[in-house]
Chains A and B, each alone.
Chain A
């Protein structure tokens, strides 16, 4: 029955609907797998098994009465620790938040429950969701199911690890610098980073903040593209304050046929050169798309200055991230920023300036970002999707020393800035663009690689459609060895 664990959420929902399996039976199957495999992985760090069993029983009873709760009726799933689920802790890995028990559900959680899902736990994150690994002082370290000595990515690392190892049916994560996309890549699952503002983040917050965060989005991870499509549809919602008059109305994909699609490819960039193993999988995808009749256009991106775009992203990102720091720490950062040499353009200097900027300076950068958005809008008049790497290497060994800003990572024998691994996620995220990461096969060493299909703002359905179509050519999710 192990193959059951690796089926897609939509398949599981269909099996439940056809009564091939019961909701409780399926839940117990996943819970048993959590008991068996999670000791080594440490992905499902908050467990709510008893309430889930009650709900699964109720789902079975409802089904027996002929009720249908929705397209996820009885499907067991987990959510990233950063979402509020009533009765469970929301800590973001911050020890001071350990006692923070949510009193209500995040809006996205309510949407999943409303569609009939059975939520049985929450998955691990890094401290303040700010790393490409997922370890923290409360829950410890999550490992990659493809190789326990490596990280699963972050910040939705627990989400991707739990999906890849067949411990959950569906996941919802969040992304401000690749936090849905790099875990999908490192663990070989699907992930969708939606256009900013179309899936409400209400309840994905520390301290019950209700203001949506710039650049940041919530979105699904899954083992199939159909699951992502369904979850995006379920989660689509404007912020509750705007919902009375502002409707999200995502256009249909221009085409569903690969041979009618126009595809751009951005293979590498001097700011963060792409390693040979990832480049090979990207090229494999490009060849497959071409062979399927897609028009592959050798046009990388709009004609903006990449270094400037990267600086704008870092500035806006750190304005958000450092604004979450406590007063005393923030005051210290202001002092450091004021002591900077005006000619210092290091990543650290950019971090400090953005992180402590005045509102006027933020507004100036926001306007520069809007110009990037306009560039991208024009670019996507020429291509339907843009293919790009999400990270320059496959999953890397755990590395917990020092601050992310001070670490380095080996890329084809060269030490590269650890921090710059978010370049490929951030450069499009800052422009609010949607991006679907899909599995693109394994490296010679047997590690998964994911590739981004990026679309225009509000072109989420086009990104997803491309990932569906290319999956039929190159294959989709495969389980890691050792999780039968």
Chain B
């Protein structure tokens, strides 16, 4: 029955609907796998098995009475630790929040429960969701199921690891600098980073917060593109304060045929050069696409300066991240920023200036960001999808020393700034663009590689449709070895 664990959520829902498997039975299958594999992985760090068992039993009883709760009726799933689930902790990896009672569900959690899902736990994150790995003093370190010596990515690292290892049916993550996308890439699963603002962030928060974070989004991870499409459909909604008069209306894909699609490719950039293993998988996708008759156009991106766009992103990212800091650490940042040499244009200096920026400076950067958005809108008037890497390398070995901002990493033998791995996510995320990461086959060393299918703002359905179609050509999710 192990292949059951690796089926898509939509397949599992169909099997439950056809009564090939019961909700309680399926849940027990996943719980047994968590007991068996998670001591080594440490992905499902908050467990709510008893309530889940009661709900699964209720789901079976309801189905027996002919009731259907929705398209996820009885499907076992987990969510990232950062989402509020009533009765479970939300800590974002901070020990001081361990005992904090959580009373309500996040808006998206409610949508998934409303569709019939059985949530049995929460998955691991880095401290303050701020790393491409997932370790913290509350829950420890999550490992990559393809190689436990390596990280699963972050901040939705527990989400991706649990999916890849067949420990859960569906996942809900979040992304401000690739936090859905790099874990999907590092673990070989699907992830969708939605257009900013189309899914409510309410309840994905450290403290009660009504205003959605800039650049930040919540979104699904899964083992199939169809699961992403379903999860998006279930969760799309305007922020509650705006729901009375604003409606999200995502346009249908222009075409569902690869040979009618126009696809651009952005292969590399001097700000963060792409390693050969990832480049080879991107090239594989491009060749496969050409084979289907799709039109591949050799334009990379709108004509903006990527180094400048990268600066704008860092500035805005750190402004948002620092706005969540308590008074004291923030005052420390202000002091450090005051001590910067005026000519210091390092990543660290840019980050500090953004973190402590005045509103006027932020507004000027926001205007530059909006001009980039306008450039992307023109770009996507001519192409349906832009393919790009997520990260320059596949999963890297755990690296817990030092700060994220000062670590180095190796790309094809060259030293590169660790932090710059977020370049390929941030440059499009800052422009609010949707992006679906799909598995693009393993490296010669047997590690998965994911590629981004990026679309215009609100073009989420086109990105996911593309990921679905290309998956039929190059193959979709594959399970890591040793998780039978």
Tell me if B203 counts as interface (CB < 8 A to partner A).
no
Contacts of B161 in A (CB 8 A): none
Q: Which of A44-52, A166-174, A219-227, A365-373 contacts B (4 or more CB under 8 A)?
A: A365-373
Contact B359 A359 (CB under 8 A): yes
Q: How far is the CB of B240 from chain A (nearest CB, A)?
A: 9
Contacts of B195 in A (CB 8 A): 245
Tell me if A458 counts as interface (CB < 8 A to partner B).
yes
Q: Which residues of A in the span 29-60 have a Cβ within 8 Å of any Cβ on B?
A: none
Contacts of B359 in A (CB 8 A): 319, 323, 357-359, 361-362
Q: How far is the CB of A420 from chain B (nearest CB, A)?
A: 23
Contact A210 B374 (CB under 8 A): yes
Contact B244 A358 (CB under 8 A): no
The answer for the CA separation of A106 and B228 in the assembled complex, in Å, is 39
Tell me if B457 counts as interface (CB < 8 A to partner A).
yes
Contact check: which of B242, B320, B356, B457 meets A244 at CB < 8 Å?
B457
Contacts of A361 in B (CB 8 A): 359
Tell me if A334 counts as interface (CB < 8 A to partner B).
yes
Q: How far is the CB of A1 from chain B (nearest CB, A)?
A: 42
From A330, A334, A363, residue with most partner B Cβ within 10 Å: A363
From B210, B245, B251, B457, residue with most partner A Cβ within 10 Å: B245
Contacts of B364 in A (CB 8 A): 323
Contact A358 B209 (CB under 8 A): no
Contact B367 A363 (CB under 8 A): no
Contacts of A323 in B (CB 8 A): 359-360, 363-364
The answer for the CA separation of A304 and B49 in the assembled complex, in Å, is 42
Contact check: which of B197, B245, B323 meets A195 at CB < 8 Å?
B245
Contact A248 B458 (CB under 8 A): no
Tell me if A211 counts as interface (CB < 8 A to partner B).
yes
Interface size class of B (residues with CB under 8 A): 35 or more
Tell me if B370 counts as interface (CB < 8 A to partner A).
yes
The answer for the CA separation of A374 and B211 in the assembled complex, in Å, is 11
The answer for the CA separation of A362 and B362 in the assembled complex, in Å, is 10
Contact B457 A241 (CB under 8 A): yes
Contact A458:B323 (CB < 8 A) given known A244-B457, A323-B363, A367-B211: no
Contacts of B325 in A (CB 8 A): 360
Tell me if B474 counts as interface (CB < 8 A to partner A).
no
Contacts of A356 in B (CB 8 A): 358, 360
Q: How far is the CB of A239 from chain B (nearest CB, A)?
A: 9
Q: How far is the CB of B401 from chain A (nearest CB, A)?
A: 29
Size of the chain A interface, CB-CB below 8 angstroms = 44
Contact B323 A456 (CB under 8 A): no
Chain A proximity mask over B362-398: 1 for CB below 8 Å, otherwise 0: 1110110011011001000000000000000000000
Contact A358 B210 (CB under 8 A): no
Contact A245:B198 (CB < 8 A) given known A359-B362, A360-B325: yes
Contact A458 B244 (CB under 8 A): yes
Contacts of A249 in B (CB 8 A): 245-247
Chain B proximity mask over A112-156: 1 for CB below 8 Å, otherwise 0: 000000000000000000000000000000000000000000000
Contact check: which of B246, B357, B366 meets A358 at CB < 8 Å?
B357
Tell me if A251 counts as interface (CB < 8 A to partner B).
yes
The answer for the CA separation of A358 and B250 in the assembled complex, in Å, is 35
Contact A357 B370 (CB under 8 A): no
Contacts of A364 in B (CB 8 A): 323
Q: Which residues of A in the span 310-329 have a Cβ within 8 Å of any Cβ on B?
A: 319-320, 322-323, 325
Contacts of A366 in B (CB 8 A): 211
The answer for the CA separation of A198 and B247 in the assembled complex, in Å, is 12
Contact check: which of A238, A245, A363, A457 meets B211 at CB < 8 Å?
A363
Q: How far is the CB of B177 from chain A (nearest CB, A)?
A: 17
Contact A246:B197 (CB < 8 A) given known A359-B323, A360-B322, A367-B211: yes
Contact A377 B245 (CB under 8 A): no
Of chain A, the residue at the smallest CB distance from B325 is A360
Tell me if B319 counts as interface (CB < 8 A to partner A).
yes
Contacts of A456 in B (CB 8 A): 244
From B319, B360, B373, B459, residue with most partner A Cβ within 10 Å: B360
The answer for the CA separation of A325 and B325 in the assembled complex, in Å, is 28
Q: Which residues of A in the span 232-270 have a Cβ within 8 Å of any Cβ on B?
A: 238, 241-242, 244-251
Q: How far is the CB of A451 from chain B (nearest CB, A)?
A: 24
Q: Which residues of A in the span 67-100 have a Cβ within 8 Å of any Cβ on B?
A: none
The answer for the CA separation of A248 and B388 in the assembled complex, in Å, is 33
Of chain B, the residue at the smallest CB distance from A377 is B241
Contacts of B319 in A (CB 8 A): 359-360
Contact A358 B245 (CB under 8 A): no
Tell me if B330 counts as interface (CB < 8 A to partner A).
yes
Contact A374 B241 (CB under 8 A): yes
Q: How far is the CB of A112 from chain B (nearest CB, A)?
A: 22
From B241, B246, B356, residue with most partner A Cβ within 10 Å: B246
Tell me if B344 counts as interface (CB < 8 A to partner A).
no
Of chain A, the residue at the smallest CB distance from B361 is A359
Contacts of A64 in B (CB 8 A): none
Q: Which residues of A in the span 347-398 have a Cβ within 8 Å of any Cβ on B?
A: 356-364, 366-367, 370-371, 373-374, 377
Q: How far is the CB of B385 from chain A (nearest CB, A)?
A: 15
Contact A370 B210 (CB under 8 A): yes
Tell me if B249 counts as interface (CB < 8 A to partner A).
yes
Chain B proximity mask over A287-324: 1 for CB below 8 Å, otherwise 0: 00000000000000000000000000000000110110
Contact check: which of A209, A322, A374 meets B360 at CB < 8 Å?
A322
Tell me if B216 counts as interface (CB < 8 A to partner A).
no
Contact A360 B330 (CB under 8 A): yes
The answer for the CA separation of A356 and B362 in the assembled complex, in Å, is 11
Tell me if B154 counts as interface (CB < 8 A to partner A).
no
Tell me if B456 counts as interface (CB < 8 A to partner A).
yes
Q: How far is the CB of B195 from chain A (nearest CB, A)?
A: 6
Contacts of A360 in B (CB 8 A): 319, 322-323, 325, 330, 356
Tell me if B248 counts as interface (CB < 8 A to partner A).
yes
The answer for the CA separation of A248 and B246 in the assembled complex, in Å, is 5
Contacts of A357 in B (CB 8 A): 358-359
Contacts of B374 in A (CB 8 A): 210, 241
Of chain A, the residue at the smallest CB distance from B236 is A245
Contact A334 B358 (CB under 8 A): yes
The answer for the CA separation of A356 and B238 in the assembled complex, in Å, is 31
Contacts of A195 in B (CB 8 A): 245
Contact A210 B357 (CB under 8 A): no
Of chain B, the residue at the smallest CB distance from A380 is B244
The answer for the CA separation of A289 and B248 in the assembled complex, in Å, is 37
The answer for the CA separation of A323 and B364 in the assembled complex, in Å, is 9
Contact B360 A251 (CB under 8 A): no
Contact B358 A457 (CB under 8 A): no
Contact check: which of A210, A241, A247, A371 meets B247 at CB < 8 Å?
A247
The answer for the CA separation of A378 and B215 in the assembled complex, in Å, is 29
Contacts of B373 in A (CB 8 A): 241
Contacts of B320 in A (CB 8 A): 363
Contact check: which of A211, A250, A363 meets B363 at CB < 8 Å?
A211
The answer for the CA separation of A374 and B334 in the assembled complex, in Å, is 32
The answer for the CA separation of A242 and B323 in the assembled complex, in Å, is 25
The answer for the CA separation of A249 and B248 in the assembled complex, in Å, is 10
Contact A371 B210 (CB under 8 A): yes
Chain A proximity mask over B114-157: 1 for CB below 8 Å, otherwise 0: 00000000000000000000000000000000000000000000
Given contacts A247-B247, A458-B246, 12 further A-B contacts (CB under 8 A): A197-B242, A198-B245, A209-B367, A211-B370, A242-B197, A246-B238, A246-B458, A322-B360, A359-B358, A360-B325, A366-B211, A374-B210
What are 10 A-B contacts defined by CB distance under 8 Å?
Answer: A211-B363, A245-B198, A245-B457, A359-B357, A359-B359, A360-B356, A362-B359, A371-B210, A377-B241, A459-B244
Please provide the 4 A-B residue pairs with the shortest distance between their CB atoms, ordered closest to farther. A458-B245, A245-B458, A323-B360, A370-B210
